[in-house]
Amino acid sequence: MLHPDDLTRAAKLGVIASLQPIHATSDMLMVDRYWGGRGKYAYTFRTQLEAGARLAFGSDAPVEDFNPFWGIHAAVTRRRADGSPGPEGWYPDQRLSVMEAVRAYTHGAAYAGYAENDLGSLTPGKLADLVVIDRDPFTCDPMEIKDTRTLGTMIGGEWKWRAPELD
């Protein structure tokens, strides 16, 4: 949770906003109960992005599951897997687009690890680290993003794992 005076501070200082979107949906009931109205200053993904902060998303495993699609779902919908707190999500003004969330998990995380020249995007000259997934998170119902399954994993241009249905 940020103090209102600090909402744009990370961007002004060039500090990376390293956040775990799944915490927003995991913590929302606790935040509402104990922080009350101040909760609107917690997990301020949209505010940080619009202020110019560089977002770097992660899972915080083993505290939360390492599945990035659960975090992308949380960042995009601001809803739990069961749909709560409702169709608009928790503090819906802080929702991100799928592209913004994916970029924070890929390029943003690579940048935070000083690896943006090698990782974080499918660009000539970078390592071919990628996954094959069972749906298009950019076009599926946002509530289905959390159900995305990995069918294959490539690291450095070599297949490390492939689901049997890909053989």
Give the pLDDT score at 137.
Answer: 98
Q: What gap in Å lies between CA 145 and CA 81, rounded to an integer?
A: 10
Q: How many angstroms separate the most distant Cα atoms in the chain?
A: 55
Percent of the chain with pLDDT over 90: 92
Given strand 158-162, what is the order of strands in its sheet? 130-133, 150-155, 158-162
Q: How far is residue 62's CA from residue 59's CA, in Å, rounded to a whole number?
A: 8
User: What pTM value is reported for the model?
Assistant: 0.94
The neighbouring-strand residues paired with 132 are 152
* Residues pairing with 154 in the sheet: 130, 159
Between vectors from CA 150 to CA 16 and to CA 25, what angle results, nearest 5°? 50
Judged against a pLDDT cut of 90, whether residue 44 lies above it is answered with yes
- What tens digit of pLDDT does each residue of 85-136 get? 999 999 999 999 999 999 999 999 999 999 999 999 999 999 989 999 999 9
pLDDT band, residue 167 (cuts 50/70/90): confident
Q: What residue type is 164 in one-letter code?
A: P
Beta bridge partners of 152: 132, 162
Query: Tokens 């990628």 label which residue?
Result: 130
Confidence (pLDDT) at 166: 83
Tokens representing residue 8 in the block: 């744009």
